Amino acid sequence: MTVQRYFFFCLKLLFRQRREVALPLFFFLMVSSLFPLTFPAKYLSMIAPSALWITALLSILLSLNNLFREDVEDGFLEQLLVSPAPLGLLVAVKLLAHWIAYVLPLFVALPLLGLWYNMPAETLSVLALSLLLGTPSLLALGALAAALSAGLKQGGTLLMLITLPLAIPLLLFGLSMVDMAVSGLSYAAAQDFLFAMAVVSVSIGPTVVAASLRISME
């Protein structure tokens, strides 16, 4: 299967399962609503960026549960391992399809969340930018964890335990962007860092994930 065909195949598959694909989005909405619901209003602006970043992180990790599950179960992954197309490229387009299906909808939800959290539009847009720059790296880390735990019992929980410590820098730099913006300072440094991480994740991430898949499937 060519890389191009595989990409559209992944998209088609995700679209066919759109009910399941929507679940992490519902999770994102529901958990995000808990903070403005339970915190006193005066603290809301302080916790908003952290709450949203953390909830987005957890939603993405939830979505990654299914990244390789079916492929492992129905033997499709083994097919991919012996296919002539480089596995790294196949993984890259699969992750791109995953980002489109699972992460893009989160951005659509952001305006509503801005309303719930009483976030000014400028803050919300910086938050959106930080997520835009940070989510490719989050996805790469999560995919790595998914590859290493593919086919294992309790794979989902292992996925989270592996990814969360490694994702902390992304979390901190993403929040730093929003923090600086709120204080009226330049957030260029954090932005550059996130961008650099995104470039690295997109370029060598799929290769590392592919290597991890080979290890898992041997």
Nearer to another protein, 36 or 176 (CB): 176
User: Closest separation between CB of residue 59 and another protein, Å?
Assistant: 20
Give 147-168 as a DSSP string.
HHTTT-TTHHHHHHHHHHHHHH
* Short-list 28, 48, 65, 64, CA closest to 130: 48
| CA-to-CA dists, residue 107 to 3, 76, 127, 132, 136, angstroms | 27, 31, 10, 9, 14
Query: Based on CB atoms, which residue is closest to another protein, 34 or 172?
Result: 172
Q: Considering beta carbons, is residue 7 or 193 the nearer one to another protein? A: 193
Radius of gyration from C-alpha coordinates of the chain: 18
Cα angle 40, 27, 7 (rounded to 5 degrees) comes to 140
Distances (CA, A) of 205 to 3, 136, 145: 17, 10, 12
Residue nearer to another protein on the CB measure, 110 or 160: 160
- Tell me how crowded residue 130 is: count the other CB atoms within 10 A of its CB: 28
> Minimal distance in Å, beta carbon 162 to another protein?
5
**Shortest CB 80 distance to another protein, Å:** 18
Residue 127 near residue 113, CB atoms below 8 Å: no
Binding footprint of another protein on the chain (CB under 8 A): 144, 148-149, 152-154, 158, 161-162, 164-166, 168-169, 172-173, 175-176, 179, 208, 211-212, 215-216, 218
Q: Can you tell me the distance from the alpha carbon of 44 to that of 36, in angstroms, rounded to the nearest whole number?
A: 6
CB of 215 to another protein, least distance (A): 5
Rounded Cα distance between 67 and 31, Å, is: 22
Please say which residue, 65 or 149, places its beta carbon nearer to another protein: 149
Q: At what angle do helices 188-217 and 87-98 cross, to 10 degrees?
A: 120
**Smallest gap from residue 15 Cβ to another protein (A):** 32
Q: CB-wise, 109 or 208, nearer to another protein? A: 208
